Structures are given as structure tokens and as C-alpha cells.
Amino acid sequence: MWDIGYLNSEAMTSGSRVIEIVRDIGINSSCYRFYHFEVLRTLISLIRLLLGMRKVGVVFADEMAQVESMCREGVELSRRLVPLVYAKVEEKISLTLDL
């Protein structure tokens, strides 16, 4: 079989990088709204990763805390990219993280 490595670590690294790019470049860009979709896709992937960690039954306490922190930062960035009227998805993600 193929060696696919440790996918959780790679997904967390990728998600962290996307959030970092949006924070450093996207917010101050003149076309900042184009980054909104990318942040939402990243958040959905991170939420799926977080739910998978909970479902497996193996305790990933440090990784779960790190993913949750990235998700909360991503939600805040995403809210800054669009008017609050359109930030409905961000509200649902926040509610999910608070459970």
C-alpha cells in the first residue's frame, strides 16, 4: 500500500497556511472579498478534521485545541472579508465550535 503520511498534520499545516495568507495579505488587499471563499473552504476542511478527531475515539487533545483555535481565527478573518449580512456561514461555524 501507499504511504500517505499523517494526514491530520498535513491538513493542519495547509489550513494554517491559508489562514496566515489571508491574515497577512487578504485583509489588506483591494480585492479582499475574493479570499472569502478560500477561508470558508479551509474552515470546512478543518471542521471535518476536528469532527473526525472526535469520532475516532483516540484523544488528540493538543491537535484538537490547535484546530479549534485555527477555526476561530478563520471565522474572525472571514467575517472581516464580507459585510455582516452575508456572514451566515461563519455564525453556523461558531455555533458548531461552541458545542
- The full set of domain ranges for the chain reads 7-98
What does the pLDDT read at residue 53? 75
Cβ(18)–Cβ(38) under 8 Å? yes
Tell me what pLDDT residue 79 has: 87
- pLDDT at site 55: 67
The whole-number pLDDT of residue 36 equals: 86
pLDDT recorded at residue 47: 86
| Burial annotation 44-63 (CB, 10 A radius, 16+ → b, else e) | ebbbebbeebeeeeeebeee
What's residue 59's pLDDT?
60
- Tell me the percentage of the chain whose pLDDT exceeds 70: 86
Segments in the chain below pLDDT 70: 1-7, 55-60
pTM over 0.85: no
Q: How far is CA 85 from CA 82, 90, 91, in A?
A: 8, 11, 11
